[in-house]
Structure 1
Amino acid sequence: MSKSPAKARRTASLALAAAAATAALTLAFVTSASATGGAGTPQDGRAAAAAPSVSGSPEGAFSRIATFYGAYVDAVYDNDGTRAKQLRAAYLSAPLQRELATWEETHHADGVLRAQNVPLEWKVAYVDSGTGKTNATVTLTWSGTDTTRLHVQADLKTRKILSITD
């Protein structure tokens, strides 16, 4: 049995479309692989990381801790003392601000960062919440693997940071 001319054209058309789709996928894969140094890995052989993202909520005490540390590190890095003071006033409880002033006078360092210099990176990790407070660990990276870990606690109701301890 021979195919009708219409069936033959339709079959050829489907075959051509399938071949074009395969070629496009192959080209996309080869282009991606060559741009990253292999099938989905960077040229140095490490696994490709997901694109960074940051999110938060003005209603959550944990988000406030992360927002504060991000903005505060930026202000200190930019040598913007006015902005750093404004952030402290907005995010830190009054008793903590007084406690930090005493700590800073004694240690001659920034009490929020527990250092005289500015970290290269910061990370805030949720620990837990209970008795009206939320707890987080703030990791400050200074160079390579040199880090400082701080315990930070915020009030769930006011969302103000209540304490910063090493």
Structure 2
Amino acid sequence: MFKLPAKRTASLALAATAATAALTLAFVTSASATAGAGAPQDGRAVAATPSESGGPESAFSRISTFYGAYIDAVYDGDGARATQLRAAYLSAPLQRELKKWEETHHADGVLRAQNVPLEWKVSYVDSGMGKTNATVTLTWSGSDTTRIHVQADLQTRKILSIRD
């Protein structure tokens, strides 16, 4: 078996100990700086940073993306963009159905309302038989909410139906 000289072994051990100490100090300093950054000093909990995610191959993500963009367009008064979004995300039969619904109810068929919600949330329900189902919760002034059932085709990822 190969043996290092005693002086060399001591140098390696000292270097390894110093490196471990430096890494430990860096980790502890980093962890405490991260934990304390922006945290209130009185021990209150800090809310998580909001995030959204999705993917172009997911029918559920398409529902969420559509509702977010559509509500933004309607809120901004951008009718042309809202029409483009309907053409891109909604099936042709649904577009015709919504047109009839809107003529009867004098309201936006996608939102099922005459005004624009203050918040929206899309929740996955289930998938089966080539479809995915979601619930869209629209929040109006205060805590008044509306829930809409939305169904999309898993293959085309187009929204097929919007129901109260």
| TM-score of Structure 1 vs Structure 2, range by shorter chain | 0.7 to 0.9
Question: How has the CA–CA distance of structure 1 residues 85 and 28 changed in structure 2, closer, same or farther, with 3 Å as cutoff?
Answer: same
Q: Which amino acid aligns with 1:38?
A: D
1:38 and 2:50 correspond: no
Equivalent residue runs for 1:70-149 within 5 Å? 70-149=68-147
Aligned length, in residue pairs: 141
3-state SS of paired residue (1:134): strand
Deviations 1:124-146 (A, max 9, x none): 00000000000000000011210
Deviations 1:6-29 (A, max 9, x none): xxxxxxxx9xx9xxx7xx79x959
Structure 2 runs not aligned, ≥5 long: 1-17
Deviations 1:48-70 (A, max 9, x none): 22111111000010000000000
**In the alignment, which residue of structure 1 is the partner of 2:154?**
156
Question: How has the CA–CA distance of structure 1 residues 29 and 63 changed in structure 2, closer, same or farther, with 3 Å as cutoff?
Answer: closer
- C-alpha distance in 2 between matches for 1:131 and 1:73: 29
Q: Which amino acid aligns with 2:86?
A: R
Question: How has the CA–CA distance of structure 1 residues 30 and 77 changed in structure 2, closer, same or farther, with 3 Å as cutoff?
Answer: closer
- C-alpha distance in 1 between matches for 2:89 and 2:35: 50
Give the share of equivalent positions with the same residue, in percent.
76
**In the alignment, which residue of structure 2 is the partner of 1:5?**
none
3-state SS of paired residue (2:162): strand
- C-alpha distance in 2 between matches for 1:125 and 1:51: 19
- C-alpha distance in 1 between matches for 2:68 and 2:33: 37
Task: Return structure 1 stretches of 4+ with deviation > 2 angstroms.
Answer: 27-33
**In the alignment, which residue of structure 2 is the partner of 1:57?**
55
Q: Which amino acid aligns with 1:86?
A: Q
- C-alpha distance in 2 between matches for 1:76 and 1:28: 42
Q: Which amino acid aligns with 1:59?
A: E
Deviation at residue 36 of structure 1 after TM alignment: 2.4
Q: State the Cα RMSD in Å.
A: 2.4
What's the TM-score once normalised by structure 2's chain length? 0.77
